[in-house]
Structure 1
């Protein structure tokens, strides 16, 4: 698996699984009816932020991540990231590779920590992955997310010192 910077030419491969994940409404705080063009603008972020794709040997996009400064001003030393793995390729280590890549990116860029602002507590695979990579839940916003099946559930804030 290769992780490389995402380009606008990658968007047609990203959009189908991006749309599927967001429209499901169970793991991202994005509007479920987010349009293709809006989504592209939100995901393919300009420098110094970075969007990447994980691709296999044939060039198939397996997943994607975006990395950015979490806050501005006197809190601009905190990074953040978001991840999406094509469900057809889940369980193959793509999410772990993308998350580790983003941690390395943040560390190399000089950030002191990473913070995820809104990890849906019922997204147990993501929570387990982040914990395994050293992130801790530092707080939970009770009923911060209206899950389409579970109803109102908590949103974790997760943190990792770099």
Structure 2
């Protein structure tokens, strides 16, 4: 697996799994009916932020992440990011590689920490992954996420000091 900067041409490979994941409504606080132009504008962040893809030896996009300052001005020293792995490539270390890449980028760029604003409590695979690479649950917003089958579940704010 190789991680590289995403190009405009990569969007055609990202969109199908992005759409599947977001429309399921189980793990992202994005509108389930988010259209492609809006999704692309949100995901493909401009510098100084960064969007990356994980690709296999054939160039198949396995997953993607974006990373950026969590807030502007006096909050701009804390990074954030979002991650998506194509469902057929889950459990193959793609998410871990993307998460570790975010941490390396944030350190290189001089951020003091990384904050995830909205990790769905019922997304136990992601919670476990982020904890395994050093993130802590700082708080949980009770019923902060409306899951399509589980109803209202908690929404974690997770953090790692760099």
Residue correspondences, number = 162
SS class of match (1:34): coil
Return 5+ residue gaps in structure 1 as ranges. Answer: none
1:138 maps to what in 2? 138
Alignment partners' CA distance in 2, 1:137 and 1:104:
20
Structure 2-normalised TM-score?
Answer: 0.99
Alignment partners' CA distance in 1, 2:57 and 2:109:
28
* TM-aligned CA deviation for residue 75 of structure 1: 1.2
1:75 aligns with 2:75: yes
Alignment of 1:1-162 (within 5 A): 1-162=1-162
Alignment partners' CA distance in 2, 1:59 and 1:152:
39
Alignment partners' CA distance in 2, 1:57 and 1:47:
27
* TM-aligned CA deviation for residue 46 of structure 1: 0.4
Return 5+ residue gaps in structure 2 as ranges. Answer: none
Offset from partner CA, 1:40-97 (integer Å, 9 cap, x none): 0000010000000000000000000000100111111000010000001111000000
Structure 1-normalised TM-score?
Answer: 0.99
Offset from partner CA, 1:9-31 (integer Å, 9 cap, x none): 00010000000000000000000
